[in-house]
């Protein structure tokens, strides 16, 4: 349901898969009659950071005075690599220290971006392994690669064009040391989220024969377009819920 100046309208659209773009049809009711007009919004399915604010864990946590550098610091959306700013993870000194994130379900992963600590100790992350799995214990994996150069300050891992499927992403040291991460971004397609909205393709037929009854529809479209531009509302497969402020 769409609320347009105390008038209601409907949104219809066919279910989609992650690789599709989608067209939603918005029909606004006029003030003077039941005459309707259709707005077609083309919404592109783009990539999003699938790891953002998801549940993360690590092999241990090294407490430093009042700082508790938990695993969640690497998925808080802050790439600041200065440890004292409380946005960098830190494990204890151990063999094979690891960090991992649960994406909440099977995802198609296109790219992994690792942000290293920047205030010191960057070389601690110079011998590590990155894995993708559908199992939390990583007994099997869909991707696994060793890296031997520390991110400075970041490492972009570009996966196959078709992406890799998995629910869990793990970063693990191949030797004994502390593991610190400023941020880990797991970029991929989330079928429940539209990362980009292409409002340039918005069309309307408000200039029909019954121009006067369509005045309200013109106003509705004028309010709808900036909402689309600013990505307001919640968009899900098979459903669009838009609220105008």
pLDDT-derived band at 47, boundaries 50, 70, 90: confident
Q: Compare 205 and 112 and report the one with higher pLDDT.
A: 112
Closest of 117, 102, 100 to residue 180, by C-alpha: 117
Query: Burial letters for 105-137: b for 16+ Cβ neighbours within 10 Å, e otherwise?
Result: eebbbbbbbbbbbbeeebebbbebbbbbbbeee
**CATH, domain 49-189, list 1.10.10.10, 2.60.40.10, 2.60.120.260, 3.80.10.10:** 2.60.120.260
Mean pLDDT of 47-59: 95
Compute the mean pLDDT over every residue in the chain, rounded to the nearest whole number: 75
Structure tokens at 140: 């099997």
Of 113, 116, 106, 117, give the one whose Cα is nearest residue 130: 113
Unique residue bearing structure tokens 């869990």? 168
pLDDT, residue 222, reads 52
Is the model's pTM score more than 0.85? Answer: no
Can you give the pLDDT at residue 3? 34
Between CA 38 and CA 59 the distance in angstroms is 54
Give pLDDT tens digits for 89-98.
Answer: 999 999 999 9
- Tens digit of pLDDT for each residue in 179-222? 999 999 999 976 555 444 444 444 444 444 344 444 544 555 55
What pLDDT, on the 0 to 100 scale, is given for residue 219? 52
Q: Where does the chain hold its CATH 2.60.120.260 domain(s)?
A: 49-189
pLDDT of residue 156: 98
Secondary structure percentages of the chain, helix, strand, coil, to 5: 15, 40, 45
Model confidence at 240, in pLDDT bands (50, 70, 90)? very low
Residue 70 and residue 56: Cα distance in Å, rounded? Answer: 9
């Amino acid at each position: 349901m769409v609320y347009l100046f105390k008038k209601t309208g409907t949104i219809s659209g066919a279910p989609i898969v992650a690789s599709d773009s989608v067209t939603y049809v918005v029909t606004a009711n006029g003030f003077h009659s039941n005459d309707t007009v259709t707005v077609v919004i083309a919404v592109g399915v783009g990539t999003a950071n699938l790891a953002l604010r998801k549940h993360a864990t690590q092999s241990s946590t090294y407490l430093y005075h009042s700082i508790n550098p938990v695993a969640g610091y690497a998925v808080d959306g802050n790439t600041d690599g200065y440890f004292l700013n409380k946005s960098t993870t830190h494990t204890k000194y151990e063999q094979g220290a690891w960090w991992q994130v649960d994406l909440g379900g099977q995802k198609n992963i296109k790219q992994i971006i690792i942000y290293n600590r920047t205030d010191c100790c960057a070389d601690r992350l110079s011998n590590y392994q990155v894995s993708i799995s559908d199992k939390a214990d990583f007994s099997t994996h869909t991707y696994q690669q060793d890296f031997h150069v520390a991110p400075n300050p970041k490492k972009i891992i570009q996966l196959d064009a078709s992406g890799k499927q998995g629910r869990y992403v793990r970063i693990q040291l191949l030797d004994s040391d502390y593991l610190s991460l400023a941020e880990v971004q797991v970029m991929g397609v989330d079928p429940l989220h539209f990362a980009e909205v292409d409002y340039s393709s918005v069309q309307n037929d408000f200039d029909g024969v019954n121009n006067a009854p369509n005045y309200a529809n013109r106003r509705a479209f004028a309010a709808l377009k900036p909402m689309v531009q600013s990505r307001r509302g919640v968009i899900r497969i098979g459903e669009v819920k838009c609220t105008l402020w």
